[in-house]
A and B are shown apart, each in its own frame.
Chain A
């Protein structure tokens, strides 16, 4: 005989602190930590709690935010995009060159097309040639960096129109334009992930690839789209950085692969794919940016900051494993 399971879900009887943490820890944990960090820094630094400093944080966070939102797509498909830093460099060179000769609009279009094209190649290599995302994007990082250095001859591309570079310091309603742009990217990503078929399929492909495939979803196309989106977002990040330095830089974005993955993982997106939200990633970006800003104000050397960010990443993931992941993963 087969005995049946009876009655409605039985997990509503145990709403205990630990259970609550397991259920909502990922969503509320990071915002609380970010708020605590703001509190600590404002108590220790007179400058921290000021509008100019917040604008500073916003501007420095904007590029990382755009890149990290893109990284989220790749990681949600259980992949990874290590080429984002190289994309930023190549896009910066291409954007600056085209802008110098053909104007701002053409430059922006060329920049976005370049980012999307590299993403497309990433996606094709991963899905058609069956190269693991880690290796595929690592190799692309090298190829694309080489391309950026070759195109620029290893030196900065100057002559970026002032109309473009001034945007980095312009404000609309008191909010720096880079922040406005990154919030726009955030909104677009939310819409794509939550309200389009592609978005739902990205979660399906990452959460259970076999299920997605056997449901008639073309998992390959979904993954390719994810890497194209990652490339596009990286090129937006690159435009923000290019405007800030008012030139095309072949070495731009070297730290972005690490920082964007850190922001995504801190933001609660599972490296195994299929779980997490881009809003969480926004908090991950805020965490990294506020931490580095606060440490600057406290005169902590930048080398030490690198160590702190690495340590914070390990700490965050291990806390997640101990309190949430390990328990939630088991029946």
Chain B
């Protein structure tokens, strides 16, 4: 039973050259997948150690092991030189390792302060002291640079995604743990918040805290990491000093295992007639007088800030939310869409941003998910036929180069493969209008390139594609045309020749008083 606490021990180990935490030959397998194969990694006192790799590389599994949530099949964890076994997340925390997970771990009906101190509530004995918790929470939030913007007594469920993420981070900070593991902490943060967080990490590192930092934002990794470890396919590829890495392209090369050719495939060149056109679309409180059109073979992008109304427009076209006014035309003829069922019957498919919540039934197999909306195609004499279903699903999955297991629950597939299942489901329904909402969120670089290629393949086959994305390089690299939305209205329309980051940003910020764009490369290309 060793603990990293108290800190003097950590200092001692630094002098001895013993790493604070050492993972030795960790192995972990799940049914059908070997998530980790003999991965070793060490964490020195007072360093930021970045962990990068594509989705499915084993990062999440490694983090889960380190947090005590998952037990490894093989290998060992050493804390200051002593082999240890974690029985539970509680155990890992007690030894001084605190993990901030990517999924938002918020109890929605508790206050911000209560969430920050979850499991660690201040107060005498069994009692919980609300005043003390809120005072202490305010201090931590101020340290994170958001003291004025998050009220500790507010219900956590009312907060935006970014703010919930900040609660997660605050939660780890109050524990003053010597080791903090962060899984994509800045994925949902604004640039201001992200840079405040990086500043804080730097300060805490100077005070001796060690970080294991997982991020897809490679520029960020280059900025704050002392060392970088690359995983690929569950194996350790390299560990190197950040100063020895030339640029993000070198990292991408290591992650993907091959030189990064072209992230964005050539655009489809055969553009047909207008397939979908909408005018005057209005839903009170969400968007106003929205009009646009999409041609067959065309990929049309929607740029904007979170909350600009892009998702709301798409949901309304798909019939998931009601419209207050406006007209939708498909192939020139006005149509009425009252429900997603209507939309699917008209050949319109919506691939939601939140694949796990809205796109897939995670407990059902890949096959069942792909076939869910088109069981008619797998029926023999009115009964669903298992073999017919598997055959049709396999054909679709092959055409999408789905690399996971179709028989396994969809929840076990990687982010990229899950996205392919959702796409496969839509293709099978014969959709001619495909609306992608943040199609590459949470997907690694290699899988992103494949999704872009698929999108253009679908377009080349005559589909009209709409792509809502918050990543500007992605829109500019894949679309034929881009609409910029802000405050529920379309502010600008740009043809391919007019693509210009500044102009799109101006449109995206049109409804805001002081435009303060946050320009961040995605690390790719």
Contacts and interface: CB of A to CB of B under 8 A. Distances in A.
Interface of A: 1-11, 14, 195-201, 203-204, 207-208, 210-218, 274-275
A126 B67 CA distance: 25
Contact of A4 (B99, B130, B191, B473): B191
Interface stretch (B206-214, B239-247, B456-464, B513-521): B513-521
Contact of A214 (B89, B304, B470): B89
Interface string B77-113: 0000000000011100110000101010111111000
B128 A196 contact: yes
Interface in B154-199: 158, 160, 162, 171, 189-193
B518 A1 contact: yes
Nearest to A11: B158
B118 A5 contact: no
A257 B160 CA distance: 39
Given A203-B109, A207-B107, A215-B118, 13 more contacts: A1-B471, A2-B190, A3-B470, A4-B305, A5-B162, A14-B285, A195-B128, A197-B126, A201-B118, A203-B110, A208-B106, A215-B105, A216-B88
B160 A6 contact: no
Nearest to B473: A1
Contacts of B508: 3
A55 B334 CA distance: 66
B127 interface: yes
Given A196-B127, A196-B128, A214 B110 contact: no
A222 to B, nearest CB: 10
B119 interface: yes
Nearest to A207: B107
A23 to B, nearest CB: 10
Contacts of A211: 105-107, 115, 118
Interface residues of B, number: 58
A295 B126 CA distance: 44
Given A1-B522, A195-B128, A208 B108 contact: yes
Contacts of A5: 160, 162, 190, 305-307
Contact of A1 (B89, B193, B521): B521
Contact of B470 (A2, A7, A10, A200): A2
B320 to A, nearest CB: 10
Contacts of A214: 67, 69, 89, 99, 101, 105
Contacts of B67: 214
6 smallest CB-CB distances across A and B, nearest first, come from A4-B190, A211-B105, A207-B107, A215-B119, A216-B90, A204-B107
Contacts, number: 132
Nearest to B157: A207
B126 A196 contact: yes
A11 B158 CA distance: 10
A2 B118 contact: no
Interface in B292-347: 303-307
Give the most central of A2, A197, A198, A210: most B CB within 10 Å: A2
B105 A208 contact: yes
A185 B244 CA distance: 66
22 contacts: A2-B522, A3-B303, A3-B518, A5-B160, A6-B190, A6-B512, A8-B149, A9-B158, A203-B109, A203-B110, A204-B114, A204-B118, A207-B109, A208-B105, A210-B105, A211-B115, A214-B89, A214-B99, A214-B101, A215-B105, A216-B89, A217-B118
B123 interface: yes
A204 B305 contact: no
B221 interface: no
